[in-house]
């Protein structure tokens, strides 16, 4: 839940430092964002992604459901905010893989790319 809380704070404020502080140096991630397509590796690449988010997105996230398993935790999330100054709303699923309190992987799946009003 800590990683998700840091994601919520980052989306709302643009300050991703707490989540970045939880990243394993060899973190693996996949997000459906142009410029970050495909599976990416390493904290440096993740920091570039969060820098892009900080410059582009401000949003309020509300967790709707949580699914936990041995390999990770998934959060179904409702999102409303602005991207590049334009309003948007959507649902997504964020999955965190954790080991010893570090985020070793994360994935994001959009339920309604293009927005949900």
Q: Is residue 116 part of a domain?
A: no
Torsion of CA 37, 42, 46, 48, to 10 degrees: -90
| Percent of the chain scoring above 90 in pLDDT | 74
Asked whether the predicted pLDDT for residue 4 surpasses 90, the reply is yes
Alpha-carbon distance 91 to 81, whole Å? 12
- The average pLDDT across 52-74 equals 94
Q: Is residue 106 part of a domain?
A: yes
DSSP count for the chain of H helices, then E strands: 3, 6
Q: Is residue 7 part of a domain?
A: yes
Q: pLDDT at position 107, please? A: 94
- Per the structure, the complete domain to which residue 37 belongs is given by 2-110
Helices 2-13 and 43-56 cross at an angle (nearest 10°) of: 40
Q: pLDDT at position 111, please? A: 64
Q: How many domains does the chain have?
A: 1
Picking from 113, 73, 80, 79, the residue whose alpha carbon sits closest to that of residue 94 is 73
| Digit-coded pLDDT (tens) for 6-31 | 999 999 999 999 999 999 999 999 98
Q: Is residue 105 part of a domain?
A: yes
- 98: domain CATH number is 3.10.450.50
Q: Is residue 117 part of a domain?
A: no
Residues sharing a CB contact under 8 Å with residue 44, sequence separation 6 or more, in sequence order = none
Q: Is residue 26 part of a domain?
A: yes
């Amino acid at each position: 839940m800590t990683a998700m809380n840091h994601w919520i704070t980052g989306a709302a404020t643009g300050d991703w430092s707490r989540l970045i502080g939880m990243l394993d140096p060899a973190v693996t991630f996949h997000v459906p964002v142009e410029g970050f397509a495909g599976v990416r590796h390493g904290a440096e690449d993740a920091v570039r992604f969060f820098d892009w988010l900080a410059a582009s997105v401000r949003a309020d996230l509300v967790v709707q459901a949580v699914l936990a398993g041995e390999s990770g935790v998934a959060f179904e999330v409702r999102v409303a905010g602005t991207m590049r100054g334009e309003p948007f709303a959507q649902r997504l699923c964020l999955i965190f893989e954790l080991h010893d309190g570090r985020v070793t992987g994360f994935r994001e799946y959009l339920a309604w790319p293009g927005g949900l009003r």
